[in-house]
Amino acid sequence: RSADWKAARAYLHSGFIYGGRVEGFNGGGLLVRFYSLVGFLPFPQLSPSHSCKEPNKTIHQIAKGLVGSILSVKVIQAEEESRKLIFSEKEAVWTKFSTQINVGDVFEGKVGSVEDYGAFVHLRFPDGLYHLTGLVHVSEVSWDLVQDVRDILIEGDDVRVKVVNIDRGKSRLTLSIKQLEEDPLLETLDKVIPQDGSADSDSLTTSNSSTIEPLPGLDAIFKELLQEDGINDVRISRQGFEKRVVSQDLQLWLSNAPPSDNMFTLLARAGRQVQEIQLATSLDQEGIKKALQRVLERVP
């Protein structure tokens, strides 16, 4: 047994993958054979492919079905004195499949869980299995201001995601849903308000015109914005009209572009009307987002 513990430590330090036979399971994970030793593979360290392949089964039903099978695992803890031998299938799968992905790649995915800070999405590979999991941060879920991720995503949802960062040292993927969609600010204004400044029957581009009035509800938001530290001025700019009504509710978007020369752009829309708003601010993009969140919490 001492020699087997030595072998376990060698696997731990080398990062080599071991093919372990599943001997059984308990309430927290699988029991995996390692030579004469039996180690533990916690359920959170299982590859997502099992639950995605059989979504209607409980984790214990999945575990029962794995008994007798051989799993590719990595040793992530080997302490002979305390007799702790812990495995991870996730780490083994990462080693195999992370080399097949690059920043900018687009995957079909399935939402595995939703947290306050974002959603974990399992990525589907060409073999049809879901091998890796990444995080879609709340800021990357939608161009709209998201108060609660659960209003948009639930466990089991099928989504398309873009890989925006790969931390190979920590085996972490950062994903985005919204980057596969046009920035509504750029998309809407470019369609509604011609870039050359010309106007037709469906658009207005007179930024200094006295006919431009803020959309209903914006005045209260403007007043509250001016109470925020770092926001020095708020003014309305271009205005346009879409050919169809998307929503009668007042909607606000933040530009994807960072502040330039202490100016930042917001977009408001209600019904067919689209309004560009210019902020004079010393805040960065994240600071503006937080300020806007505070304002929307105060304005009924």
Residues 223-236: tens digit of each pLDDT: 999 999 999 999 88
Indicate the helix (H) or strand (E) that contains 232.
strand 231-241
299: confidence class by pLDDT, cuts 50, 70, 90: confident
49: confidence class by pLDDT, cuts 50, 70, 90: very high
pLDDT tens-digit readout, 151-203: 899 999 999 999 999 999 899 999 999 888 876 555 544 444 433 333 333 44
pLDDT tens-digit readout, 82-97: 999 999 999 999 999 9
Report d(CA 185, CA 104) in Å as an integer.
22
Dihedral over Cα of 72, 78, 82, 83: its sign? positive
Report d(CA 108, CA 99) in Å as an integer.
18
| pLDDT on residue 198 | 35
Report d(CA 218, CA 241) in Å as an integer.
17
One-letter amino acid for residue 232 of the chain: N
List of domains in the chain? 2-95 (2.40.50.140), 101-180 (2.40.50.140), 184-298 (no CATH)
> Residue 17: pLDDT above 80?
yes
Reported residue count of the chain is 300
Closest to 52 (Cα-Cα) out of 197, 166, 195, 158: 158
Q: What is the mean pLDDT of residues 95-121?
A: 94
Bridge-based pairing of strands 37-42 and 158-167 is unpaired
Report d(CA 20, CA 231) in Å as an integer.
59
| pLDDT on residue 95 | 94
| pLDDT on residue 94 | 95
Q: What is the mean pLDDT of residues 257-281?
A: 79
Dihedral over Cα of 194, 200, 206, 212: its sign? negative
Mean of pLDDT over the chain? 85
252: confidence class by pLDDT, cuts 50, 70, 90: confident
Least confident of 172-181, 225-234, 237-246, 268-277: 237-246
- Which parts of 62-209 are beta strand (E)? 70-79, 84-88, 106-115, 118-124, 130-137, 158-167, 172-176, 203-204
> Residue 133: pLDDT above 50?
yes
206: confidence class by pLDDT, cuts 50, 70, 90: very low
| pLDDT on residue 270 | 78
Indicate the helix (H) or strand (E) that contains 293.
helix 285-298
Dihedral over Cα of 149, 150, 155, 158: its sign? negative
Half-sphere exposure of 178 (CA within 13 A, CB side): 22
| pLDDT on residue 214 | 67
Give the neighbor-by-neighbor strand order of the sheet with 231-241: 203-204, 231-241, 273-281, 263-271, 247-254
| pLDDT on residue 229 | 92
What is the CA angle 68-70-75, rounded to 5?
120
| pLDDT on residue 286 | 83
Q: Is residue 31 classed as helix, strand or coil in its secondary structure?
A: strand
Check if the beta carbon of residue 34 is closer than 8 Å to that of residue 72.
no
For a pLDDT cut of 90, what percent of the chain falls above it? 56
Least confident of 28-32, 134-138, 185-189: 185-189
What φ, ψ does residue 277 adopt, rounded to 5°? -125, 130
Q: What is the mean pLDDT of residues 241-254?
A: 67
| pLDDT on residue 256 | 64
